[in-house]
Structure formats: structure tokens, C-alpha cells
């Protein structure tokens, strides 16, 4: 699990270099926080439904946007 989260963080850092060329920093900041919120809500719903793998996927996706 640690390796997958490290990969997500590294991928997010690489993607940010591409996004900075297209969007302003403020747009990236707002988009990132919106996506993190959506993914964490998804993780909370999956936790409530006791779906561990789906919860992990949502947390992994939220780490990509950090």
C-alpha cells in the first residue's frame, strides 16, 4: 500500500508540471481541492459500506491530487 501511495504522489508531481503550462496556479489549486474532496467523500461512502478495496482506490486517487 505504501508503494502505491508513493507512486500516486510521484505521478501527481509529474502531472503538475504539465498542468502548470495549461492552467494558472489558482485554477490548479481550486481544481485539486475539488477533486480531493470528491475522492475523500467517495472513500467515506466506501468505508461506510465496508468496501476496503474501493476505499483504498479513493484514498489513492486523492493522494494523486495532493
Range of the domain at 54: 2-65
Helices 52-65 and 2-22: angle between axes, nearest 10 degrees: 40
> What pTM does this model have?
0.69
Number of domains present in the structure of the chain? 1
- Reported as a single tens digit per residue, the pLDDT across 2-54 is 787 788 778 878 887 888 889 998 998 898 899 999 999 999 999 999 988 99
When pLDDT is cut at 50, 70 and 90, the band that residue 66 belongs to is low
Amino acid at each position: 500500500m505504501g508503494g502505491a501511495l508513493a507512486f500516486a504522489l510521484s505521478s501527481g508531481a509529474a502531472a503538475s508540471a504539465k498542468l502548470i503550462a495549461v492552467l494558472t496556479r489558482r485554477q490548479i489549486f481550486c481544481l485539486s481541492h475539488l477533486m480531493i474532496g470528491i475522492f475523500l467523500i467517495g472513500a467515506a461512502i466506501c468505508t461506510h459500506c465496508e468496501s476496503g478495496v474501493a476505499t483504498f482506490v479513493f484514498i489513492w486517487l486523492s493522494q494523486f491530487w495532493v
